[in-house]
Amino acid sequence: MSVSDVLSRIDRDELIALTRDLVRIPSVVRPGDPEATEAAVAAHVERWLRAEGFAVEVHEVAPGRPNVLGAIGDGRGGPTLLLEGHTDVVTEGDAREWTHPPFGGDVVDGRLYGRGSADMKGGLAAAMVAAAAIARAGAPLGGRLVVGALVDEEGDMLGARHLCTSVLGRELSAAIICEPEQNELCLEQRGVVWARVTVRGRMAHGAMPEAGVNPISAVGALIREAPALERRLRRLCRRTPHLRPPTVTPTIAQAPVQGVPQSNVIPSAAQLTLDVRLTPGPDADAVAKEIDVACQRVMDACPGATVQWQPVNGYRLATRVERGEPLVRAMVRGVRQVTGRAPRFGGVPGSTDGTILRTTLGIPIVTCGPGDRLIPHQVDEHVEIDQLLEAARIYTASALNFLEV
Ligand SMILES: [Zn+2]
């Protein structure tokens, strides 16, 4: 059976309908609200995969927050390839700012609109339809193909972390991360460390600052240290054509850390979070050392203040896979089979579930999916339907190539 036989089974209207169904089930996670989780959309994915004859596993990651995994083929005789998507979406913000309702799934002028249409219910639907086309065709597989719909990518990536601890997760050989990258093959992803820096001073009256140590002044010094930290990290990290160089961006400033803010009180402590983005190269220790240097310089400049930091959610270092990886070769061939041209290569500006799979399991990942790279989290998020269909076809061809008998 040829790849084009299987590709001919992918139905554009079915793909549009499935994407629309997923968009219409809101899955903004609102902590504290047990109704606002991925549960409903995960249940839809589960039903759909079961109806297509997939072997389905549901892993309860947290209450009301299940990972859904559906497999075809046999993992005992060959590799296991994961097509990965996440079921959570970010908030729609103010729905009145949207031209098309955020959970409507409107189709207008070749685009499907709605929160998650690009990030990434479109990519998830494309993965589901791609795997189903292979199943329906009865195409022989020299291994196993798994579609994974994971929770909490937009939060702490609990779904991906959980998958890495499961039996199925440990059996994975490679993964395609179906995030919106306009169907480019992204072999690199920037890493992230959220450095939460706590400055302790000494509480005092605002009218007598000499009686205390003001931690807010030290936060100011830390903000002024950020460009130097950024320069040092840029020297440490590799330059790559597809990724922006490292950046250090202050994102959360808070004082006091506890208690009531008062205009005439110097607080005892303040916090600043630095959003540190990395390209491949240094390990966690090397990055930590540079952040330590920044903290030490602030202490030197602000006598009496103590400065400590810790990573929020650990280190998610940049990832990279080589062009020679069998998964990359299978996808390069897949793109040629589908589009008749060589693939475009790209890079992921942030981290994804793939970061966790790559760094925890050590497996090769390629990020490739439908949707403009800049559209996620915006008002009037949408996905081009032609790109959606192209993604489903790329996944099908790439999976058949990777799992060739
Ligand atoms: Zn995403």
For residue 376, pLDDT beyond 90:
no
Question: How far, in Å, is the centroid of ligand 1 from the Cα of 210?
Answer: 49
In this prediction the pTM is: 0.92
**d(Cα 224, Cα 229) in Å, to the nearest integer?**
10
- Residue 143 Cα, ligand 1 centroid: separation in angstroms? 27
The Å distance, Cα 346 to ligand 1 centre, comes to: 16
Distance 225 CA to ligand 1 centre (A): 31
- CB-based burial of residue 341 (10 Å sphere; 0-12 exposed, 13-18 middle, 19+ buried)? exposed
Which residue in 351, 330, 338, 337 sits closest to 145, CA to CA? 330
Residue 204, pLDDT score: 97
Per-range mean pLDDT, top range of 1-5, 286-290, 314-318: 286-290
Which pLDDT tens digit goes with each residue over 12-65? 999 999 999 999 999 999 998 999 999 999 999 999 999 999 999 999 999 999
pLDDT at 390 over 90: yes
Taking the mean position of all CA atoms in its chain, how far away is CA 62? Answer: 19
**What are the two backbone dihedrals, phi and then psi, of residue 205, each rounded to the nearest 5 degrees?**
-75, 140
Question: What confidence tier does 183 reach under pLDDT thresholds 50, 70, 90?
Answer: very high
What value, to the nearest 5°, has the Cα angle with vertex 280 and ends 275 and 283?
80
Give the pLDDT of residue 302. Answer: 96
Candidates 371, 317, 282; CA nearest to 188 is 317
335 in Cβ contact with 391 (< 8 Å): no
Alpha carbon distance 114, 384 (integer Å)? 12
Question: What separation in Å is there between the alpha carbon of 154 and the centre of ligand 1?
Answer: 7
Interval between CA 366 and ligand 1 midpoint (Å) = 14
**Residues 226-263: tens digit of each pLDDT:** 999 999 999 999 999 999 999 999 999 999 999 999 99
- When computed from its CA atoms, the radius of gyration of the chain, rounded to whole angstroms, is 23
* Tens digits of residue pLDDT in 298-348: 999 999 999 999 999 899 999 999 999 999 999 999 999 999 999 999 999
* Mean pLDDT, all residues of the chain: 96
How far is Cα 17 from Cα 10, in angstroms, rounded to an integer?
13
pLDDT of residue 313: 87
pLDDT one-digit tens code per residue, 45-60:
999 999 999 999 999 9
- pLDDT at residue number 329: 98
- Assess contact for 146 and 81: CB atoms under 8 A: yes
Distance 179 CA to ligand 1 centre (A): 5
Q: What is the pLDDT of residue 76?
A: 85
Rounded CA-CA distance 336/329 in Å is 11
